Every structure is written in structure tokens, then in C-alpha cells.
Structure 1
Amino acid sequence: MKLQFNINYQTYYGQDLLLNIVTGLNGGEHKYSAYRMHTADGYHWQVEINREVLPGIQLNYFYSIWRGDEEERREWETVVHHVVFNAERAQTYRVFDHWNDIPRDAYLYSSAVTDCITGRSLDKPSPNSFRKGVCIKVRAPQLGSSKRLFVLGTETMLGAWNPEKGLPMKHYGTNEWSIDLDAAQLTNNRVELKFFIKNDENSASPVWEYSDNRIVELPQMDEGDVVVYELDEAFFPIPPVRIAGSLVPVFSLRSESSFGIGDFGDLRKMIDWVSLTKQRLLQILPINDTTTTHTWTDSYPYSCISIFALHPQYVDLSALPKLNDKKQRDAFEKLRKELNVLPQIDYEQVNNAKNEYLHLLFEQEGKASIESPEFKTFFVETEHWLVPYAQYCHLRDKNGTADFSKWPDHNRWNEADRKALSSPRNKAYKDVAYYYYVQFVLATQLKAAHSYAQSKKVILKGDIPIGVNRYGCDVWSEPRYFNLNGQAGAPPDDFSVNGQNWGFPTYNWDEMIKDNCTWWVNRFRNMAKYFDAYRIDHVLGFFRIWEIPVNSVHGLLGQFAPSLGMSREEIEGYGLHWQEELFTEPFIADWVVDRIFREHADEVRGKYLEHTWGDRYRMRSEYCTQRKIEEAFTGELSEKDIWIRDGLYSLVSDVLFVRDHRDPNLFHPRISVQFDFIYESLYDSDKAIFNKLYNDYYYRRNNQFWYQEAMKKLPKLVNATRMLVCAEDLGMVPDCVAWVMNELRILSLEIQSMPKDPHLRFGHLGTNPYSSVSTISTHDMPTLRLWWDEDWPRTQDYFNNVLHREGPAPHPLPGWLARDIVSRHLSSPSMLCVLSIQDWMSIDETLRLAQPDAERINIPANPKHYWRYRMHVSLEDLMKRNDFNYDITDLIAQSGR
């Protein structure tokens, strides 16, 4: 069959337009056949190809712009063009398209909306026998599940403008509707038409599209010709979809069948509660395996050892076959009950017990499981990551450490080992088969929970951590993607005055970009098996990461990477006389030592410092870095020892400029140095100069550079799946972040107590952008009740000037006032309003915890925090709390969500 594709696109000299017919997927990239198009005027482009097609077949394709051998841009690939070949007698198809950039309402094309909220299935192609035909296609993403698109027009066959005779259209693609018309019945080559919506469930008046009538000019047609017109998206005066949801870590869930920790079975029960209360979204924290030490320090969910593997602690043992040995069954049941009544998670007991149970079950059931067709399919789909992961876990446990540099052999993954590890007859396979089995069980249970959420019209939202553990499987198996001489973290903020040091290696983006970010794209595609929305943790890391030297404990000596460092000449250009030693070496003077250490000053001078000249000192070589100081004070926990240790940390970081990690001739103003002694020692005139330089550097100098860096990575990632993309964009946010998020239609995070506008103390909920997630607190913050009591003057300001209530603010926060705050957030314009389970419960004084302190999930200032928060109410009891559940339902209904 002859296929002709036409598109209007204004190109410039040297640019070519290519048609790309999709033939499949290779990793995260479309596989396609490319055809160079032709033009006579640089605007009207056309190409003809011959291709064998059968009725009912669908052809997917997209367009791209090339200059020479380089692609300059391509269309939005998440939802590509497609043609369904319905005409049985067709000999020629002529397709008239328009260029598709990412639409402003891209959110409505996400699987979160189409597969969960709308839940509309696709129609089956209906072949026709027209001698010549016209196919009209249009995208209409606003339609709900009970609504159908109709077309009406001047022609008699189009209803002659009688809505009762409008023609129903077919839903063949994501939000795309089409209709096949018999061209022989058209009386005019100029077809005038318009689209409208009718509700399948009632006879309400039709809703007309918000536009003038459409005009389609048909070409001269012969028998066997079919013309396909893709029209601009239809827009209807329908309120935008707004969704309410809950945030709770899976490990925090509690049910009567739990084993001391929330699991994937509890996730289904939480979905039931979300659905019962008319919410439409459930957000969780990362669920990847974090096991390096088999101790409670592995409880940190953002330190994954594999971007694919799930944490064994989330297995729902009650959904698995029972152990045959009654004595073992009884012992585990006794332990389960003991762990399940604990107010918090006992991470070590829970994981030891679950691992023991799974080992016993694997001995009993494993052989049959790994010989099943379901497992074989799973293994084929996951083998690229599952085999290295299982080998890593085996070697970690065999060697008693996750630090693979200390293993006697196998210090790096050897691809040559894959064959033996994949063949059931080999000993190597038998050594790791247990880990295959556990991941198979976990994936099966999580997929079932995801399907269950979709059946309940609930969006399951996951979380993608920005970093990975430096001793994890990802670094072991693909070290080229990581810089191990740095540590990722965050600059100082409201959570941590010394910055945050996460200890993760930073990414080698040059290597990642060389292969089109396949590592990341595969990660996102794997997430799409389980989720319909996701949160990008610390999205700023895709623009630049806060990179801290490996010899630092705190984050103050970090610098943004990549970033444009400053030369000595640039610094002097601001008027600041360059003094390299003074500006880049720790500023240690007698008065500084006295102020930090007071009565211990002389001891510090004698033991930790060397006198240089005048009243100046330098650190002794054995204490010259924070890591050396940390090692020297290991196990020293007295108040005095901690005082001296932290004081020495601050001495090391007291510099005005940090030398660039890659080019020693470039420098970066040290973050937050205005609070340190070196800054205090400057003349007022030099302080003013430095502040101008500092503000230029952090808020203006790198903006365009960071925009370009983000656009090398993020478009590939957000277009890799149809999941709804949300981002945590808090902290020191450069202007370019909003540019990129708006361009890529990524939902921002809006927290009233942390407004994006630096001139405001509290944000105005009514000005939240639609493309945002509104919340009161995150897992890194105090809950609403904790926040209310931690700073009374701030709370008073909020009470009087935001809530517009008179008199003193009540303490502790009463339920009626918490309800008011929740109601205001639900009423914001944000597409999503997601509240933590603790903040939902704050509205009910009979249900919430007696002590607000027990609600805290994480304390970011403490890098060794024990993540063990658990709901105090079982999900079974929560389902029975009729008054509370009705209150939530009522709040959501009143807000229009």
C-alpha cells in the first residue's frame, strides 16, 4: 500500500524533517525506521512510502528535525501519532498531521488519569468497505469515563447541525478519538464540523468544544483513496481534574496480619481506605532494597543498593504458602504477634525473621516456583539487573560486608559470570536462586497491589531517590556511571544548618548522557510496572548536585557540580582583593578559638592546632579534615567531647572560598559563610563586595548553564513513561528550575510554610499553580501538630495573618483548627493535594496520637536517623472509624476534588 505523510513545519536552511515509524522499544528508546521528507518551500513537507498493511493494523510514528547528521529536536514521544488502517478497500492513505510538542495538559495523558481516574478502555477497530474514505482524528483529554465524543457538521451525514444526529467517535488511542466517513456521501470538499461531549449515563445537554467551527478541505480523491486528518486538540469548558490523596510509607502501615512492619498486603488495605474516603491517590516512600549491614542503619529508604530490586521486608508472608512444619509455624506466629504490637518498628528483628521465613519457604516451595512459567517470564524480563543483584547479595552475605573493595575477589561485576548464574544446572545459579525467588515474590505482590489500585480508581504514586548507596549493587556492577571521590548532599537549609551529607556517590553524567541516559530510562520504565505517578526526589540534582569532598562530614565545604567556578581575576573584578591563603585555608585566630571552645580553648590549642604566626593557627595534620576528626572522636560521647569535635568541624569549614574539585584555579564562594568567623573578620566594604559576588554566583551566574544541563537529561526521563511526573523542588532553587518544570509539565511541590517567593513568610494557597502538589508537611518535616508547637511566634503570625483569626493561637493544635487548615489546602488550585496520614488524623482528637513527637518520620539533620514510625491504628480499625472517614469524605466533596 502507498502511504503518504504530510506535515507543515517551518524549517530553516540546513534543516530536514524525518518521519520515524516506530517498530518497537530498545531499552528506553524507540526503535524506528526513518524516512527523509521532501519540501519545495521549507514549510510543506511530504514523504511517500510503500508498506504492506492489513485492516485493523495500527502504525505508530513521530517526526524529528535534523541538521546534517545531528538530531536537533523531536516531537513529544510519550503519546505518538498513529494511524489505524480500517479501510478494507484502500490502496492509498494520505495523512495530514501537525507537529506535536508536549501539550500544556500533558498531565491528562498520564496513566494516572487515563488508567486510574478515567479508566476508559480502547475501542476495537471497526473495518469499513468505503470506496474512498475520510478519517477525522482529534485528541480530547478532558473526557471522563462516562463521556463520549461526538462530531456534528453541515453535511447531512454529519447530522446537519442536529445534536440528536451527531456521530459517535471511536477511542483508538490515549485520549484520541477518530471517525471514518464515507467520502462518496459528502457533497462538498469543504467540510465544516464541530465536536461535542455527551454523557453515556444521562441525557444532559451536550458540552460543545470551546472553539469556532472546524474546516477540513478535502483533496481530489479517487477510488481506493483514504485521507486522514489529525486536527488540533479539542478543548471543553470543563473544570480541571483535582485529586486528593494520602502519603504514608509502606513500612508505617499496620494491620492485624502484619509482621511488625507494613507490607504489600497492607498496601492493598490502605488502598481500600483511600477509596472509601473518596481520595484518589496513595503516595509511598521508596521501597527498594537498602540492605548493606543487616542492622537498623539500613532502615534509611533513600539509600538503595539497587534501583530495581524491592526490599524483602515488604513481602506479605500471609499471602504465601504456609510452612509445613507446625512447630516452625507456631514459633513464627508467636513472634509475629509480639512484633506487631510494638509501637515502632524493630527493623532488625523484623528483617531477620522474614529472611529466615523466606529461606525456609524457599527450601519448601522454591524449586516449584522457579520452574513455573510465571517465574520464567519474570526472569526473562528482569535478567539484565536481577542476575548481578543476586550475585552481589550472595557475595555481600558470604563476605560479611557490602564494601566490595574488601572482598577477596569479585570486586566488580564480571559480565562473563552471567551465563553460569542464569543456568539452573550450575552451582553458581543454585547459590543465588534464593534471591531470584524473593524478588519474584515481591514483584508479583506489588504488581497485584498496583492492579488492585487501578481497579479501585486509585493512583499509586512511587518515589525515585536521587542517589544510590556507594556500596550498592549499582555502583558495583556499573561503576562508570558514578564519581566515587565525592559525596552527594544538600546545601544548608531550614532542616540542617550544616547542610546534608547523604554519602551517596555523585553521577558521572558525561557517561550517562553518552548512552542516552539508558540507566535512568530503564529505572523509570521499571517503576511504571508498579506505579502511575512518581515523585522525583531532589529534582535539583538533575540541574546540579551539591558535591561534598569525601574527607568532609558536614556539607558546608561542598560545591554545586557541575557549575561555573570563578577565577581569581573574576573575583578581583568585583573589587575584592584576592588573598588565596586567607580566603581558602581555615581561618583560625585566638579570638575564634576562645569564642568556640571557651574554657577548653587552651586544651584545643595545645592538642589540635599548630601556631603559625601572630595570633593565627592551623590544624595539625592528624586533624586537618572532618573525617580525621570524626575518626579521632569515635566512641567519645561525653558532652565535652562532642563540643570539641563539633567545634573542630566548624574550624575546618571556616573558609571564604572553596577550591573547585576539578580545576584548582577556579573557586566557589563557600555556602552560608556569612555566619562564620572569616566573614566576620572582613571590612564592611569587603563584606558588601562579597555579598554581591555571592548572590550573583548562586542566583544568576549558572542559571542558563544549569537549564542546559537539565535539558540534556530530564526530557528523556519524563518521556520514557506515561506516569504522572511530580518533583520535590525545595531548597536553594535557581530560577531555571521553574523554566524546565513548566516546559516538561512536571508538577511542583507547594508547601505553605516554605514559599517559593523569598519575600513571603507563608505562601498564599490560592496562588498555587494548577500543575503542582499541595501539601502541609513531607516525611522530612515536622507534622502539622509538631510544626504548630515548635515556634510559637511564627504560629501566632500564621494564626492571625494567614488564617485571619483573632486572639492568641491555641496550643496544642485543636482538631477543629487542624480541620480548617486541611480544608484550605484541599481548596487550593493544585492538581494534587496529598496529605500525610498524620496530618489527616490531626483533625480528629479522639484518633490522633497523644504525643505529636511520635509522629515524626525523619530528622534530616541526623544522617543516622532510625526510620521506624508506624501507624498506631490498624487499617482494619481505621476502616471502622465512620465519623473520621465521613469527615474526610465531606472535606474532599466541599473542596470539589
Structure 2
Amino acid sequence: MKIDFYLRFHTKFGQSLAITGNLPVLGEDEPDKALPMSFLSDELWQVSIEIDPSETETLRYRYIFIDEKGVWEKEAEKERIVEIKKAKHDLLFVDTWNDPSLFENSFYSAPFKEVFFRDRKKLKLKKNNFYTHQFKIKAPLVSPDETVCLLGSSETLGYWNTDTPILLSKKGNWWTVHLEIPASEFAMSYKYGVYNLKTGSFVRFENGDNRILHNDGSVNKKTIIHDGFLRLPVNQWKGTGLAIPVFSLRSNNSFGIGEFNDIKLLVDWADEVGMKMIQLLPINDTSATNTWKDSYPYAAISAFALHPIYINLQKVAGKKGEPIIKTLNKKQKQLNGLAEIDYEQVIHFKINVLHELFDLDNLDFL
């Protein structure tokens, strides 16, 4: 099987591009062994490989940029994955570089994928098995009642008719459609747009110039076009949030300082007032001097250890430690009643109690 890779990316003199992936010919994901690409123009690079599809089920690849000094940088796109074991045709990829600085990449982080955009419905369309071209694009900010559509200058793409655009369906993070396009329709210009499923109407074209697609004249080949991001304003999503240190989350159940358990109260409050995000200042251990100087949350002494000052004594005490905790009510009220946190008093008090609890139940701890 022959696979052609075309990458649309603007380069300057002295810069170059390479491709890496899970195949030996692509360096097996090692950037230093990446396959160099050939310069076609300031906007286009190309490379071809020959593989045995029976030896690999899945092709996974990624592009690398090398500057004038030889310093390399991987693109942000991590989802160029194609099933090739059962492929009966040669493949041609027309890709768009995904720059790590693009704001749209933020919308594919865990908070957006797993929380904010979790319940968005997906339009399911029947796949056309007799296709020559597959168009793929990412559009994180399309609203739940909308889908991505495709229009263009050819008969297959509807001659720019906004009444009957081609609708894309969502698979994973990509919006995609499979089309059979005859060679006579190339070269073609096209654009993506937004279509409202609820009203059954075309909403708008994406921003920017028309996209252009040429045909390389090959037969018995599938062309897969990764068109990057739908060109829409990136300020459509709005969300409020707050950044806060854990030590400031004092509650009635705390011992003079905000604790891990108090984060739950903050989450409940944030949800009640409609906030979307919470950023906690570092919670790593800073116990270097055992004085107030350790209260600075960015002075971590460990990348892994959490600060013991945020431990809730009642939670770690368990049933065996209940008698010890009951004797602390007066001290708890005294610490919670302070107008400001007394860092040194709190940390020394908590460490002493934690030692008591450990001595009481050390065999279970060990």
C-alpha cells in the first residue's frame, strides 16, 4: 500500500517538516528518527511511504516542525489515527498543521470534553461506503442544536447552495463526511458552515478564504482531508471561575485553616452561583522551616507530597481516634475564631495531633 502525506503549513527558508508515527518507516514515534518531508511550496510539504497493511492494524502519525537552528516542535494534533489493516486502496492524506498555540485546542482538554460539552447530542448519518474523499474538521464551539455543514463550487458540493448543504456527523472529536467525487470536478473550492438542526436552516459560513482541493490524478485511492478547526470566533464560550488557595476555605469543621474537605463546600457554592471553573493554588508540602515562611504555596519542597496542614483531623482519626478529637473542640473553636490564620500555631498543633493518632493506630498505618 502506498500512502501519500501532504501537509499545508507555511514555512520560511531554513525551516523544514518531518513526520513521525507508530511505523518503523516513520521512526516509531521517536522525533530524532522522524521521516523528513519534501518541500513543494511555501505552503505545502509532501512525503510518501510504502507499507504492508497486513502487518499493522492502525496508522498513527504526527507532524514535526524543525526551525533554522534544528530545534524541533511537535504539532498539537494527537488524533491522526487511521485503521489500515483492511484497507483495499492506497491512501492520500491532506492535512493541516495544528499549532500548539491555537486557542481552540483548549476546548479538547478534560474539563470541556468531560464536563462542559459532555451532554451535547451527536448527529448520526449513514456512512457512504463507496467514497473517494473523507472530509474531517474539528469544531468545538458548535452549539448543541447545530451541526457542521459543507458547501462548495462543484456539483457534489451543491454549487454553494445554502438550502441543501452537506451535513457532517460527529465521530470522536472530528466532524466528518464521506463523499464520492469524480475527477472531473477538480480543482474545487469549498467552505464549511454551521447548520441549525432545530430550524432546518443554514446559519453561516466559516470565516476566511475559500479552501481549495486539487486532485492528484490517481485512481484506486482514498483521500482523507484533515482541515484543522472550523474558522469561527473563539469567544463564543463564556464561563466564570475563581482562583483560590485552599488555606482560605475555612469552615466550622476546619482547624484554623482551610482543608481538603472544605473544597467540597466550595464546589457546591460555585455550582449554586453558576460558576464553571475552580483553580486551586498549589497544595504541595512547603514545610522547610516550620515557620510562617512556609505559608507561601509556591515554595514546594516536593512535586508529589501534599501539605499536611490541609488534613482534616476528624476524617483521619476514625473510630479509634474519636476520644482524642473530642478533646480538641475548645482548641478548634479558638483557632477558627482568629481573624487571620495563625500558620505556625495551626501547623504545630496539627502535626502533634497527627503524631498522636499515628501512635494510636500505627500498626494499621504500616
Per the TM superposition, whether the score is higher than 0.5 is yes
Q: How does 1:307-326 map to 2 (within 5 A)?
A: 307-317=303-313, 320=316, 322-326=318-322
Q: How does 1:359-438 map to 2 (within 5 A)?
A: 359=355
What do residues 19-45 of structure 1 show as CA deviations (whole Å, max 9, x unaligned)? Answer: 12269xxxxxx8445112235778643
| Structure 2 segments unaligned to the other structure (5+ residues) | 24-28
- Using a 3 Å threshold, how does the CA distance of structure 1 residues 324 and 117 change in structure 2: closer, same or farther? closer
- Using a 3 Å threshold, how does the CA distance of structure 1 residues 79 and 39 change in structure 2: closer, same or farther? closer
Does 1:206 find its partner at 2:203? Answer: yes
What do residues 747-805 of structure 1 show as CA deviations (whole Å, max 9, x unaligned)? Answer: xxxxxxxxxxxxxxxxxxxxxxxxxxxxxxxxxxxxxxxxxxxxxxxxxxxxxxxxxxx
What do residues 261-300 of structure 1 show as CA deviations (whole Å, max 9, x unaligned)? Answer: 1122212321222232233333443322111233333223
Secondary structure (helix, strand or coil) at the match of 1:63 reads strand
Partner residue in 1 for 2:170: 170
Kindly provide the amino acid, as one letter, of the partner of residue 207 in structure 1: R
Kindly provide the amino acid, as one letter, of the partner of residue 38 in structure 1: S
Residues 257 and 341 in structure 2, CA contact (< 8 A), matched pair in contact too:
yes
Residues 251 and 258 in structure 2, CA contact (< 8 A), matched pair in contact too:
yes
**Cα distance in 2 between the residues matched to 1:134 and 1:332:** 71
Residues 87 and 127 in structure 1, CA contact (< 8 A), matched pair in contact too:
no
Residues 189 and 219 in structure 1, CA contact (< 8 A), matched pair in contact too:
no
Deviation at 1:50, TM superposition (A): 2.2
- Using a 3 Å threshold, how does the CA distance of structure 1 residues 231 and 311 change in structure 2: closer, same or farther? same
Partner residue in 2 for 1:71: 70
Residues 249 and 257 in structure 2, CA contact (< 8 A), matched pair in contact too:
yes
**Cα distance in 1 between the residues matched to 2:170 and 2:222:** 17
Does 1:280 find its partner at 2:281? Answer: no
Partner residue in 2 for 1:137: 136
**Cα distance in 1 between the residues matched to 2:80 and 2:270:** 36
Deviation at 1:109, TM superposition (A): 4.3
**Cα distance in 2 between the residues matched to 1:98 and 1:104:** 13
Please point out which of 300, 312, 315 is paired with 1:304: 300
Does 1:59 find its partner at 2:60? Answer: yes
Partner residue in 2 for 1:246: 242
**Cα distance in 2 between the residues matched to 1:184 and 1:91:** 16
Residues 96 and 229 in structure 1, CA contact (< 8 A), matched pair in contact too:
yes
- Using a 3 Å threshold, how does the CA distance of structure 1 residues 45 and 80 change in structure 2: closer, same or farther? same
Deviation at 1:252, TM superposition (A): 1.0
Does 1:261 find its partner at 2:257? Answer: yes
Partner residue in 1 for 2:83: 85
Kindly provide the amino acid, as one letter, of the partner of residue 149 in structure 2: F
Kindly provide the amino acid, as one letter, of the partner of residue 46 in structure 1: V
Deviation at 1:251, TM superposition (A): 0.5
Residues 55 and 88 in structure 1, CA contact (< 8 A), matched pair in contact too:
no
Residues 4 and 48 in structure 1, CA contact (< 8 A), matched pair in contact too:
yes
Secondary structure (helix, strand or coil) at the match of 1:46 reads strand
Residues 252 and 261 in structure 1, CA contact (< 8 A), matched pair in contact too:
yes
> How many percent identity over aligned positions?
26
**Cα distance in 1 between the residues matched to 2:166 and 2:238:** 30
- Using a 3 Å threshold, how does the CA distance of structure 1 residues 200 and 182 change in structure 2: closer, same or farther? closer
Please point out which of 205, 214, 218 is paired with 1:217: 214
Please point out which of 180, 185, 188 is paired with 1:183: 180
Partner residue in 2 for 1:148: 147
**Cα distance in 2 between the residues matched to 1:334 and 1:286:** 30
**Cα distance in 2 between the residues matched to 1:106 and 1:172:** 16
Residues 247 and 258 in structure 2, CA contact (< 8 A), matched pair in contact too:
yes
Kindly provide the amino acid, as one letter, of the partner of residue 82 in structure 1: R
Kindly provide the amino acid, as one letter, of the partner of residue 83 in structure 2: F
Partner residue in 2 for 1:50: 51
Partner residue in 2 for 1:377: none
**Cα distance in 1 between the residues matched to 2:60 and 2:261:** 40
Higher mean C-alpha deviation, range 184-193 or range 286-295: 184-193
Residues 250 and 284 in structure 1, CA contact (< 8 A), matched pair in contact too:
yes
Kindly provide the amino acid, as one letter, of the partner of residue 266 in structure 2: M
Kindly provide the amino acid, as one letter, of the partner of residue 226 in structure 1: K
Deviation at 1:215, TM superposition (A): 3.5
What do residues 92-132 of structure 1 show as CA deviations (whole Å, max 9, x unaligned)? Answer: 22112244444553574463873477434898x99968355
**Cα distance in 1 between the residues matched to 2:302 and 2:342:** 23
What do residues 707-749 of structure 1 show as CA deviations (whole Å, max 9, x unaligned)? Answer: xxxxxxxxxxxxxxxxxxxxxxxxxxxxxxxxxxxxxxxxxxx
- Using a 3 Å threshold, how does the CA distance of structure 1 residues 250 and 278 change in structure 2: closer, same or farther? same
Residues 76 and 98 in structure 2, CA contact (< 8 A), matched pair in contact too:
no
- Using a 3 Å threshold, how does the CA distance of structure 1 residues 299 and 357 change in structure 2: closer, same or farther? same
Q: Name the Cα RMSD after superposition.
A: 4.3
| Structure 1 segments unaligned to the other structure (5+ residues) | 24-29, 370-429, 431-897
Residues 189 and 218 in structure 1, CA contact (< 8 A), matched pair in contact too:
yes
Higher mean C-alpha deviation, range 355-364 or range 301-310: 355-364
**Cα distance in 2 between the residues matched to 1:137 and 1:218:** 17
Please point out which of 217, 228, 231 is paired with 2:227: 231
Partner residue in 2 for 1:270: 266
Partner residue in 2 for 1:691: none
Kindly provide the amino acid, as one letter, of the partner of residue 346 in structure 2: V
**Cα distance in 1 between the residues matched to 2:320 and 2:227:** 63
Please point out which of 109, 112, 128 is paired with 1:111: 109
- Using a 3 Å threshold, how does the CA distance of structure 1 residues 130 and 86 change in structure 2: closer, same or farther? farther
Residues 258 and 310 in structure 2, CA contact (< 8 A), matched pair in contact too:
yes
Deviation at 1:61, TM superposition (A): 0.6
* Structure number having the greater strand percentage: 2
What do residues 33-77 of structure 1 show as CA deviations (whole Å, max 9, x unaligned)? Answer: 51122357786432324265899946241222266xx624435x3
**Cα distance in 1 between the residues matched to 2:363 and 2:145:** 47
**Cα distance in 1 between the residues matched to 2:286 and 2:17:** 47
What do residues 350-387 of structure 1 show as CA deviations (whole Å, max 9, x unaligned)? Answer: 32343345456656778778xxxxxxxxxxxxxxxxxx
**Cα distance in 1 between the residues matched to 2:200 and 2:316:** 49
Secondary structure (helix, strand or coil) at the match of 1:71 reads coil
What do residues 291-340 of structure 1 show as CA deviations (whole Å, max 9, x unaligned)? Answer: 12333332232322224432121234455572424422322455434433
Secondary structure (helix, strand or coil) at the match of 1:235 reads coil
Deviation at 1:199, TM superposition (A): 5.3
Deviation at 1:146, TM superposition (A): 5.8
Partner residue in 2 for 1:346: 342
Partner residue in 2 for 1:194: 191
Partner residue in 2 for 1:18: 18
Residues 39 and 46 in structure 1, CA contact (< 8 A), matched pair in contact too:
no
Deviation at 1:260, TM superposition (A): 1.9
**Cα distance in 1 between the residues matched to 2:67 and 2:110:** 33
What do residues 455-514 of structure 1 show as CA deviations (whole Å, max 9, x unaligned)? Answer: xxxxxxxxxxxxxxxxxxxxxxxxxxxxxxxxxxxxxxxxxxxxxxxxxxxxxxxxxxxx
Residues 132 and 222 in structure 1, CA contact (< 8 A), matched pair in contact too:
no
- Using a 3 Å threshold, how does the CA distance of structure 1 residues 229 and 261 change in structure 2: closer, same or farther? same
Kindly provide the amino acid, as one letter, of the partner of residue 219 in structure 1: D
Residues 20 and 63 in structure 1, CA contact (< 8 A), matched pair in contact too:
yes
Q: How does 1:840-879 map to 2 (within 5 A)?
A: none
Residues 96 and 226 in structure 2, CA contact (< 8 A), matched pair in contact too:
yes
Residues 63 and 99 in structure 1, CA contact (< 8 A), matched pair in contact too:
no
What do residues 213-252 of structure 1 show as CA deviations (whole Å, max 9, x unaligned)? Answer: 44422333433x2212233543235754444333432101
Deviation at 1:253, TM superposition (A): 1.0
Kindly provide the amino acid, as one letter, of the partner of residue 299 in structure 2: S
Residues 9 and 45 in structure 1, CA contact (< 8 A), matched pair in contact too:
no
Kindly provide the amino acid, as one letter, of the partner of residue 143 in structure 1: V
* Structure number having the greater helix percentage: 1
**Cα distance in 2 between the residues matched to 1:281 and 1:270:** 11
- Using a 3 Å threshold, how does the CA distance of structure 1 residues 335 and 52 change in structure 2: closer, same or farther? farther
